[in-house]
Amino acid sequence: MPTYNFPADLRAAQLALHQTRAEYDEYSKTLPWSAEPMPGWEHDKQLHSNYVSAKPDSPGYTEEQAAEVRRFEAELLRLSVEVSTHPHWATLNDGVMEARMALKRVHEPEPEDQAA
């Protein structure tokens, strides 16, 4: 596998993108299932199982929750643009897609069998 010498600002932007996405995912778990107030529902039991699909009433997002979602979305968009349009990509002749995929994993720890 080729090694890449990514610029520090590109690595930092990719790390910030990962961290922001993880924070947004965690925050999303605390939100009601619908951004707008919606009535809950329940469907019949699934065939060959005891699973009953249901959702409680959703109060919708509060103004604070909606503002936080907009903040996360704006930051994710900004970081995505920063990473994807970084001048470093123009310096590569071949393997741009492979390099972009490698950047996504550059902050992951090396597996035990490869670290030495």
For the chain, domain boundaries? 8-32+62-105
| 1 band by pLDDT with thresholds 50, 70 and 90 | low
CA angle 38, 44, 47 (to 5 degrees): 140
- Tell me, yes or no, if the pTM score tops 0.95: no
pLDDT at 96 over 60: yes
CB atoms within 10 A of CB 83: 20
| 76 band by pLDDT with thresholds 50, 70 and 90 | very high
Q: Looking at residue 7, what is its pLDDT? A: 96
36-55 confidence digits (pLDDT tens): 999 998 988 877 888 888 99
How does the average pLDDT of the chain come out, rounded?
92
pLDDT at 91 over 60: yes
**Residue corresponding to tokens 């920063």:** 82
Q: Looking at residue 53, what is its pLDDT? A: 87
